[in-house]
């Protein structure tokens, strides 16, 4: 990931403000809210890939931890969702650092396998959770809600303190704000000494060590930042839908978010955001082939991987003549010509 410019921030902000002004339709806003949440996850997942160079598959586990934290805090303990939201970020950050510490001693494929197994273990523990944590109206509610998930808890309550036309875009605004803040942090980090450290380690780890940079510490901090924002995105998701179930840990959800990164391209910080927009629109367009969604997504991913490995943002970068010269040289070098 190159040093990023802040210019994408105002562009994103303008787009986020423009949408409700021009397409205030409830359905559109609802879908856009979800798209913004997934875009936050994709953005932060890509930070782990392209900044830390770690192929972790634990991102949706972080998402689930954030969502469940909000659902549990509000549903079981009656803590306000507004307090639960940042707490979810903190809790997920700690979970991220813990799992990071366990995984980061390993390399490449080992990390992928272990993180996948960790998130599956989480799924199984939740699905098989049947011990009653409390009973409500004669119904037994396990701590995690088991396979049915948790549903008796509050949302962010925009309907209560905002007038009608604005209230139904409350969640949308929150999701947009989270994405913008997260993007800001990502750019800030990529431009800071911290980001220089990440890029150095990714480029040449041995050499970076010989210049005083410690891979473990850097990668752990990427895990922490990425997990914190992903956890808050999860909490937002839980608050928006008012139901949190284990299905976010299913493989097809992982493929869905992953497709955003692959299609958008991970080389640019904003690539996954573009990917999120493309995949969301695509899903809306192909809604009549609902049962074939995974095949369509998988097929698109394969085509992109084969023909445009840097995704759509990589293709756009090709239009820029400076980058084109660079990538041609790179290709020639790769092919050993």
Partner 1 sequence: MSEILECVGVGKRFGGVHALSDVNFTVTPGEIVGIGGPNGAGKTTLLEVITGLTPGSSGRVEFAGTDITGRTPEQVFCLGLARVFQSAAVFPSLTVFENVLAGVVYKGASKPRTPLTYRESDLEATRAAIDLVGLSDKADEVVEHLPILDRKLVTIASAICGKPKMLLLDEPVGGLTPPEIELLKEVLFKLKAHGITMLIIEHVMQFMSAMVDRVMILDAGRIIFNGAFNDMIRDVEVMRVYLGEQAAARLRESFAG
Partner 2 sequence: MESIIQIFVSGLTLGAMYAVGTVSLSLLWGAVNVLNMAHGALLVIGGYASWYTATRLGIPPFLGYFSAALVSATMAVLMYLLILRWLKGRRGADVLIIVATFAIAMILENVVLNVFGGYAVAQPAKLSGGVYISSVFVPAQNILIMVLALVLMALLALILQRTALGRSIRAVAQNSQAAVLMGIKVQHTYIAVYAIAGAFAGFSGVLWSSISTLSPTMGFDPMLKAFVICVAAGLGQIGGALAVAILLGLAEAAIQYYVGVRFALPFLLLAVVALLIVRPQGLFGIHGKARQ
> Which of 8, 249, 297, 312 contacts partner 2 by CB under 8 A?
297
Tokens of 256: 């869905």
199 counts as binding partner 1 under rule CB under 8 A: yes
Strand partners, 135: 140
Minimum CB separation of residue 3 from partner 1 in Å reads 8
Per-residue contact string for residues 138-177; x = within reach of partner 1 by CB under 8 A: ----------------------------------------
Check residue 53 for interaction with partner 1 (CB under 8 A): no
**What distances in angstroms separate CA 205 from CA 104, 191, 199, 210, 212, one per listed residue?**
14, 19, 10, 9, 11
Which H or E element spans position 77?
Answer: helix 59-77
Choose between 29 and 201: whose C-beta lies nearer to partner 1: 201
Residue 203 contacts partner 2 per CB under 8 A: no
DSSP assignment of 119-136 equals HHHHHHHHHT--SEEEEE
Per-residue contact flags (x/-) with partner 2 for residues 25 to 64, judged by CB under 8 A: ------------------------x-----x---------
Binding part of the chain for partner 2, among 88-96, 248-256, 277-285, 313-321 by CB under 8 A, reads 248-256
Asked if 157 and 215 touch (Cβ cutoff 8 Å), the reply is: no
User: Cα separations (Å) of 230 from 173, 227, 236, 274?
Assistant: 17, 5, 10, 18
Taking CB under 8 A as the rule, does residue 337 contact partner 2?
Answer: no
| Residue 5 engages partner 1 in binding (rule: CB under 8 A) | no
User: Does 253 interact with partner 2 (rule: CB under 8 A)?
Assistant: no
Continuous segment of H or E residues that includes residue 33:
helix 26-46
The per-residue DSSP string of 242-266 comes to: S-B-GGGGSHHHHHHHHHHHHHH-S
Number of residues engaging partner 2 in binding (CB under 8 A):
39
Our CB check for partner 1 shows the closer of 172 and 218 to be: 218
What separation in angstroms does the CA of 16 have from each of 22, 58, 87, 279, 305?
A: 11, 28, 26, 17, 29
Query: Six-digit token pair at 190?
Result: 């990529």
Name residue 136's beta-bridge partners: 139
Q: Which does 72 bind (CB under 5 to 8 A by kind): partner 2, partner 1, none?
A: none
Question: Among residues 5, 80, 128, 204, which is the contact residue for partner 1, using CB under 8 A?
Answer: 204
State the nearest-atom distance from the C-beta of 147 to partner 2, in Å. 12
Contacts of 130 (CB under 8 A, 6+ apart): 140, 142, 146
Examine residue 294 and tell whether it contacts partner 2 (CB under 8 A): yes
- Residue ranges binding partner 2 (CB under 8 A): 49, 55, 102, 105-110, 112-114, 116-118, 120-121, 124-125, 128, 251-252, 255, 258, 262, 291-295, 297-299, 301-302, 305-306, 309, 334
- Residue ranges binding partner 1 (CB under 8 A): 2-3, 188-189, 192-194, 196-197, 199-200, 203-204, 206-214, 326, 329-330
């Amino acid at each position: 990931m190159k040093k990023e410019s802040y210019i994408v921030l105002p562009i994103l902000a303008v787009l986020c403000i423009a949408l409700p002004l021009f397409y205030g339709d409830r359905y559109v806003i609802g879908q856009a809210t979800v798209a913004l949440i997934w875009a936050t996850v994709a953005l932060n997942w890509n930070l782990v890939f392209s900044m830390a160079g770690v192929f972790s598959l634990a991102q949706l586990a972080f998402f689930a931890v954030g969502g469940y934290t909000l659902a549990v805090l509000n549903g079981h303990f009656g803590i306000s969702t507004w307090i639960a939201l940042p707490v979810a970020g903190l809790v997920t950050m700690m979970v991220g650092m813990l799992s990071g510490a366990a995984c980061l001693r390993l390399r490449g494929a080992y990390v992928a396998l272990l993180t996948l197994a960790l998130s599956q273990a989480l799924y199984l523990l939740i699905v098989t959770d049947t011990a009653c944590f409390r009973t409500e109206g004669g119904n037994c509610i396990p701590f995690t809600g088991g396979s049915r998930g948790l549903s008796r808890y509050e949302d962010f309550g925009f309907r209560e303190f905002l007038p009608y036309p604005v209230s139904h875009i409350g969640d949308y605004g929150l999701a947009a704000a989270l994405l913008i803040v997260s993007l800001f942090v990502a750019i800030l980090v990529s431009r800071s000494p911290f980001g220089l450290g990440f890029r150095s380690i990714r480029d040449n780890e041995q050499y970076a060590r010989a210049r005083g940079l410690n891979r473990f510490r850097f990668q752990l901090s990427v895990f922490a930042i990425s997990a914190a924002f992903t956890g808050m995105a999860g909490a937002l998701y839980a608050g928006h839908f008012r139901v949190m179930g284990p299905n976010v840990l299913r493989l097809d959800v992982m493929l869905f978010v992953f497709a955003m990164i692959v299609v958008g391209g991970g080389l640019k910080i904003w690539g996954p955001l573009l990917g999120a927009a493309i995949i969301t629109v695509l899903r809306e367009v192909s809604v009549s082939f609902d049962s074939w969604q995974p095949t369509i997504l998988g097929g698109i991913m394969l085509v992109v991987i084969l023909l445009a490995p840097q995704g759509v943002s990589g293709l756009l970068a090709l239009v820029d003549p400076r980058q084109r010269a660079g990538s041609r040289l790179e290709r020639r070098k790769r092919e050993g010509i």
